[in-house]
Amino acid sequence: MTLSDKMIELATSGIAKLLETEKRMNKTYREKGDVIHGLLIASITKLHVLVVSAPGAAKSVVANRFVRAFRHYHASNGKTHFRKLMSAALPPDELFGMIDIPLYEKTGTARRKVDGYMPTARTVVLDEFFRGNDSVNNTLLDQLDEQRMFRNGDTDLKVPLEFCVALSNGWYEDDQRALADRFPLRYVSSYIAEKGSRFSMWRDRVNSATCDIDDIDITDEELEAVHKMWSQVEVSDGSFEVLNVICEEFKKEGLQPSDRLTNYCIDL
């Protein structure tokens, strides 16, 4: 597919705004460059991000600030971004919407009122991600995979999710591997280590300084153009050779990346 001049113009504008977002956030959130860049990559490739750190390492504030650069975050209906703190006791209703009781009583179909919940969101931030219960996690598997589907009653809904950011204070257990496998972009957020960065953080605190990116205003049209331009990037057989060597080296170390993760490498 050949991109029109208008599409190229929109994509160029969108990428410039994403880079400006990254620049401003790096200025405020010191030593978080890898995580911030990962969020930028996610917004371009529509792949999900996992950030792991000890408590208090700014992973939540970074993730929740980044999405404010998108115009859809500020939509008047407030239904295009969704965030939730996960827990073992979290009921599916709080993620996916309440069951439509009148419809259930009338037809026996258990369909959820999804408007304003995760199935209708374009960007999602889920904190304490691996603390979710099996009922929630099993439903997340479909929404987070390549098909982006949500089974609502007797209907499969195509969800508009572009990327999800999962935040956790620890790595996943073996029985959560299928869920973690949906997150090819993985980062560790550490505490600030450098004196200069620490002093700058404290000065911002004293001055009540924040990272203002609301005015960057990345439009839906610009995002769509960025995604289309990214899809035009050619991947050569030479890239396959390099990726295969990496897979073989992983095997030697006793690690076996899934086929899904190796496919994600092609997407990146």
Rounded Cα distance between 209 and 221, Å, is: 31
pTM above 0.85?
Answer: yes
What the block records as the tokens of 163 is: 């990327």
How many CB atoms neighbour CB 44 within 10 A?
18
Length of the chain counted residue by residue? 268
Q: Which of 162, 218, 163 is nearest to 14 (CA)?
A: 218
Distances (CA, A) of 158 to 8, 73, 148: 27, 20, 6
Phi and psi torsions of 125, nearest 5°: -125, 120
Rounded Cα distance between 83 and 64, Å, is: 8
How many CB atoms neighbour CB 116 within 10 A?
14
Q: Which of 82, 65, 41, 98 is nearest to 214 (CA)?
A: 65
Q: Which of 240, 145, 147 is nearest to 183 (CA)?
A: 145
Query: Count of H helices and E strands in the chain?
Result: 11, 7
Output the pLDDT for position 1.
59
Output the pLDDT for position 183.
95
What is the mean pLDDT, run by run of 10 residues, along the chain of 268 residues?
Answer: 86 97 96 96 96 93 95 78 94 94 90 93 95 92 91 91 95 90 94 94 91 93 94 88 93 90 87
How many CB atoms neighbour CB 43 within 10 A?
25
Rounded Cα distance between 50 and 126, Å, is: 10
63 neighbors 51 (Cβ within 8 angstroms) = yes
What the block records as the tokens of 261 is: 């993760």
Output the pLDDT for position 133.
92
Q: What angle do CA 25, 29, 31 make, to 5 degrees?
A: 115
Classify the phi-psi angles of 110: left when phi > 0, otherwise alpha if psi is within -120 to 50, otherwise beta: beta
* Secondary structure of residue 156 in the 3-state scheme: strand
Output the pLDDT for position 77.
62
130 neighbors 172 (Cβ within 8 angstroms) = yes
Instruction: Tell how strand 185-188 and strand 49-52 pair up.
Output: parallel
CB neighbour list of residue 244: distance below 8 Å, 6 or more residues apart: none
Rounded Cα distance between 37 and 172, Å, is: 23
